[in-house]
Amino acid sequence: MPLISTERYDLASFELSEMIECGRTVRRLGEGAASMEAAADQIVRFFYDSLVDTASGKRNCALVRCFKTHRFAQLPPDLAAAARRQLTRPGRVSPEMPCLTLLATAGDLPEWNDSSCSLHHAAIPLESVAIVEQAPMIAALLGQMGLEIEAALYPSPELILDAEQHAFNVFHVRDAAGDPSVPSQEGFVKRYDIRSVLGFGGLLPSGELFAVIMFSHVTIPHETAQMFRTISLGVKLALLPHLRGPVFACEQGAFSLAAARSTAPYGETLEEELRSEISTLRMLIPALEQAALDQNRRLQSAFGDLVKKEEQVRQQGERLSAMLEATTAGVILLDREWRFTFLNNHAQTLIHAEGRDLLGQNVWAAFPGAVGTEFWTNYHKAMWERVAVQFHEYYPAPIDKWFEVHAFPSQDGIAAFFHDITGRLKQEATLRQTEKLAATGLMAASIAHEINNPLEAMSNLLYLLTHDASLSPTAAQFARQASEELKRVTEITTHMLRFYRQSTSPAEVDLKEVLESVLVLFQGRLTKVGISVEKRYRATRSLQGFAGELRQVFANLIGNAIDASPRGCRLILRVREARDPATGREGVRITIADTGKGMSRAVQSKLFEAFFTTKGATGTGLGLWVSRELVQKHGGAVRVRSREDERLHGAVFAVFFPWQPAEARVLPWSASPDVPLAG
């Protein structure tokens, strides 16, 4: 019974183990076959069925054929007639003319599975060297097998043994499309998607040539093709037992090829067959050794390439890691199980992960506050829908930050780049608040301007009323009180207009008048909390500057002093001429001190930072920052001192302005305070 193989091999990934298994199977295929033709049929059928794409299960080969040369006199009548039809000189046929005969065929089309259906390849007469040279595939096949065309057509007895022991090789065309050695490009190669051609074979003891040719749908690498040198010896071993028996299945009755061969000059005897089998086995051992060495070299080369690639990947990883560390964004990588695979240093700082080993941990377990938020929604969208996302989200305490996040799908999960935008959002909120305050100030100034005229009219009417002799003493007293209160209203509206109005160039500024206008605005609060005000104005010289900006500075400092002072405290204002101890410049120092609760050193160190506040939701953190900028604009400097002792507590802000403005500085307290801190 013919051997049926269940093994599957892929020409696109043919390795040493596949070569050995395939060769072992091929050597046994001829066992029990009734003829050499039947053995050849098993061989081509094995290659056609066993060479498959391991992924899709589709056959690698479109067509597999086995050829063998015969003398014209040894051909059955039907093959002799087929050979005669292709002769260039039909009238002159030599009985010794070799013919390349199609022993077996297997392929995708029904007609490719019956050698009798082949019109041009059933028996190809090899009339002369010149005619063979005009057949590109046959010439290339003989050439790659190391055979001279003339020696293959007309072998001499003394050369047969040597050629048999050395002439085995492969004919390989890696890219069949456009190759001149592969005929019928349009009608066969392109039409049936032939990618590569592989032929392998050798010589039999009689000097006859055998070859198996495969036309493949897949590209066959050079390394795979070379492995079939060994398999060609297995094919020879499968064919050798049939040299003394019938070659064709039709060898019965009137025609017997065995009988025809008995008169051939180089008939195969049993001794010749055994000698050939032994020599083939001897060739098989070094062929296997060479294949093993070739495979070992390929493995070593592949290992070297793998080491190089590993080093390249390592270097690329180091460069990528350095780039991710250098970026201003926090970067995290998550795998498909939501585990951290990378965090740069900035990410660890932003999410308070210093000292925590987050690699390998689940992000939702490590940061449960993100579950159910935009982090959860958008990260899942990036992970499972494989789309990029961008969003803003807040993470609660202890992180207590707003983040802007860009997340992208990656090969192993997602990558997220994020920035802390808490400060930016505060700036935007403050800007909106400032715009509202500016609009409120404009409205207040407009109201003050509009009510000035009615106030003036009311003042005149009250003046006349207080001098009306017909009024009773009580009514006259009420009129005088109303006139005094109206003066306060008029003064308040006047100061409101001064806060809003701002000149475009510096002018003479009366510091006493500016401070008094600010106190007027805070008079209600001062009275309400019972804070006493002590004023000592010793400098009378005017300062070059912007009155509105100076009012804003003093309003911030006085307002903060009131906020920090409980009931019964004191607010001290001093204005005196002074000299800057650091530069020697002459100018004026305005001291605003309070006997409130004071500030810690930590608070003092951040006092002039934007958005730093101790007032919670009611503070913007911009008052002192803006005040310092305005002082520096006038060439001045600010000094601060504060204590929190039970006996001595409070804060002192000393603002120095030079008479001649120069480059501004922000200095620590370095001199004795203008005002002692009281308990």
Could you write out the three-class secondary structure of 470-519? CCCHHHHHHHHHHHHHHHHHHHHHHHHHHHHCCCCCCEEECHHHHHHHHH
410 neighbors 333 (Cβ within 8 angstroms): yes
pLDDT computed for residue 157 by the predictor? 47
**3-class state of residue 458 by DSSP:** helix
Q: What angle (nearest 5°) sits at the alpha carbon of residue 33, between those of residues 29 and 39? A: 55
Nearest to 127 by CA among 165, 180, 89: 89
| 451 HSE (CA, 13 A, CB side) | 15
* CA dihedral over 120, 125, 126, 132, signed as positive or negative: negative
415 neighbors 407 (Cβ within 8 angstroms): yes
- Whole-angstrom CA distances from 240 to 204, 205, 268, 373, 674 are 8, 9, 10, 78, 121
Report the C-alpha gap between 627 and 198 in whole angstroms. Answer: 88
| Global pTM exceeds 0.85 | no
Q: Where are the beta strands (DSSP E) in 16-76?
A: 61-71
359 neighbors 340 (Cβ within 8 angstroms): yes
Homologous superfamily, domain 504-679: Histidine kinase-like ATPase, C-terminal domain (3.30.565.10)
Report the C-alpha gap between 637 and 630 in whole angstroms. Answer: 10
Report the C-alpha gap between 664 and 639 in whole angstroms. Answer: 12
pLDDT computed for residue 337 by the predictor? 95
Report the C-alpha gap between 519 and 524 in whole angstroms. Answer: 9
Taking every pair of Cα atoms in the chain, the longest distance, rounded to a whole number of angstroms, is 169
- Whole-angstrom CA distances from 103 to 41, 43, 482 are 7, 11, 132
pLDDT computed for residue 290 by the predictor? 65
Homologous superfamily, domain 16-299: GAF domain (3.30.450.40)
Report the C-alpha gap between 175 and 196 in whole angstroms. Answer: 5
pLDDT computed for residue 670 by the predictor? 35
Parse the chain into domains and list their residue ranges: 16-299, 327-420, 433-501, 504-679
Please, what CATH class does the domain formed by 327-420 belong to? alpha beta
pLDDT computed for residue 261 by the predictor? 46
* CA dihedral over 419, 420, 425, 431, signed as positive or negative: negative
Rg of the chain over all Cα atoms, to the nearest angstrom: 52
231 neighbors 23 (Cβ within 8 angstroms): yes
Report the C-alpha gap between 85 and 81 in whole angstroms. Answer: 6
Report the C-alpha gap between 124 and 129 in whole angstroms. Answer: 14
Report the C-alpha gap between 558 and 555 in whole angstroms. Answer: 5
Helical spans, DSSP H, in 191-247 = 222-239
654 neighbors 589 (Cβ within 8 angstroms): yes
Question: 284: Cβ–Cβ under 8 A, 6 or more apart, which residues?
Answer: 230, 233, 234, 237
pLDDT computed for residue 571 by the predictor? 92
pLDDT averaged per 10 residues, the chain (length 679): 64 85 85 88 94 90 93 89 84 84 94 87 86 76 68 54 49 90 90 93 82 93 87 86 80 45 46 59 59 68 82 78 78 94 89 85 93 94 95 91 94 93 82 68 69 78 81 83 76 64 73 88 86 90 85 88 88 91 87 90 79 67 78 88 85 90 43 34
Report the C-alpha gap between 528 and 534 in whole angstroms. Answer: 17
571 neighbors 533 (Cβ within 8 angstroms): yes
- Whole-angstrom CA distances from 155 to 126, 199, 207, 373, 591 are 13, 22, 6, 87, 122
For residue 342, give the amino acid letter: F
pLDDT computed for residue 146 by the predictor? 62
413 neighbors 406 (Cβ within 8 angstroms): no
Report the C-alpha gap between 501 and 494 in whole angstroms. Answer: 11
Report the C-alpha gap between 566 and 530 in whole angstroms. Answer: 8
pLDDT computed for residue 283 by the predictor? 59
Q: What angle (nearest 5°) sits at the alpha carbon of residue 73, between those of residues 72 and 77? A: 85
Domain 327-420 and domain 504-679, same fold? Reply is no
Total residues found in the chain within this entry: 679
pLDDT computed for residue 260 by the predictor? 45
pLDDT computed for residue 279 by the predictor? 59
370 neighbors 363 (Cβ within 8 angstroms): yes
Report the C-alpha gap between 205 and 266 in whole angstroms. Answer: 9
